[in-house]
């Protein structure tokens, strides 16, 4: 698994959501009783059986909704000076590769007791498809940058938004 944090993570998720292709294979993701344990020092709970793990993802954990065009992911970048970069730069790098971006909202958020940044955008991925609404949460500590992302077509974004809230609430740095 890569610890890189390029905008390709999100662009890959957006492309995957647009085509609804489920990846197959085994990348060694450890999910025990619905809880993903990262070797990078955090854990997060899969928000329910409606969410399938995408095994061949470049993110630490990518989930796809079984019944709709929605996805979420969590990824940590723990190399170099990533955690010391300004929040605006981290968000711009995360959203690189998206077309026709419109920022809907931006603000501060607390995740596992740490301050972070929430950004909500509407955009298109690298391929044609529906306009997507994407919510990103970025949190840093002394070692890593943690990204939690939810994306779905604009008209169905609210359908699984509560699942993303539960996903974020379950994030815990060990």
Query: Which sequence spans correspond to the domains of the chain?
Result: 8-173
Q: How many CB atoms lie within 10 A of CB 115?
A: 11
Question: Which segments in the chain show pLDDT lower than 70?
Answer: 1-29, 80-97, 126-128
**pLDDT score at 23:** 24
Task: In whole angstroms, give the CA distance from residue 101 to residue 103.
Answer: 6
Token couple for 73: 């992911």
**pLDDT score at 25:** 27
**pLDDT score at 78:** 84
Token couple for 98: 């998206």
**pLDDT score at 26:** 34
Task: In whole angstroms, give the CA distance from residue 12 to residue 58.
Answer: 8
CATH class in words for 8-173: alpha beta
**pLDDT score at 124:** 78
């Amino acid at each position: 698994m890569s610890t890189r944090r390029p905008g390709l993570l999100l662009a890959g998720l957006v492309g995957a959501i647009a085509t609804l292709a489920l990846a197959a294979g085994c990348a060694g993701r450890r999910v025990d009783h619905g809880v993903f344990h990262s070797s990078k020092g955090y854990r997060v709970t899969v928000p329910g059986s409606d969410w399938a793990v995408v095994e061949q993802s470049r993110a630490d954990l990518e989930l796809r909704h079984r019944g709709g065009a929605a996805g979420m992911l969590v990824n940590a970048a723990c190399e170099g000076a990533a955690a010391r970069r300004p929040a605006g730069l981290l968000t711009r790098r995360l959203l690189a590769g998206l077309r026709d971006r419109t920022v809907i909202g931006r603000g501060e958020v607390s995740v596992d007791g740490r301050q972070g940044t929430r950004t909500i955008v509407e955009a298109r991925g690298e391929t044609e498809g529906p306009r997507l609404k994407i919510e990103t949460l970025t949190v840093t500590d002394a070692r890593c940058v943690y990204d939690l992302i939810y994306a779905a077509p604009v008209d169905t974004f609210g359908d699984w938004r509560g699942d993303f809230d539960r996903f974020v609430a379950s994030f815990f740095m060990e």
